[in-house]
A = this chain, B = another copy of it.
Amino acid sequence: MDPDAVARAFVEHYYRTFDTNRAALGGLYQDNSMLSFEGAKTQGAAAISEKLTGLPFQQCQHNISTIDCQPSGPAGGVLVFVSGSLQLSGEQHALKFSQVLRYRSPNI
């Protein structure tokens, strides 16, 4: 399967989960995963899930503008760079965001 298509499907799944069932994002991380968010680092699926569900907004809608992906190095996986906007409930203006995800299929 085209790696760009896999990356796009993963990104869509990630942000759909973020916007509709944020607590389930923890299932997309592993115990050695690390999240850097606005300068703060969080390690491990459970801690990352707690961090994301504890963000100071509830309803949100991510709109993706760009997805760039490439192989992430000799250990395999795909490095995905995402940019877009984040609309928070009750806010007039959307926020710009960008995020890097390192994705590794459980099947490869």
Contacts and interface: CB of A to CB of B under 8 A. Distances in A.
A102 interface: yes
Nearest to A34: B70
Q: Interface size class for chain A?
A: 20 to 34
Q: Report the copy number of this chain in the oligomer.
A: 2
A85 to B, nearest CB: 14
B73 A72 contact: yes
A20 interface: no
A83 interface: yes
A93 interface: no
A72 B70 contact: no
Contact of A39 (B36, B68, B79, B100): B68
Interface string A55-80: 00000000000101111111101010
9 contacts: A73-B77, A73-B102, A74-B75, A75-B75, A79-B79, A79-B100, A79-B102, A83-B98, A98-B98
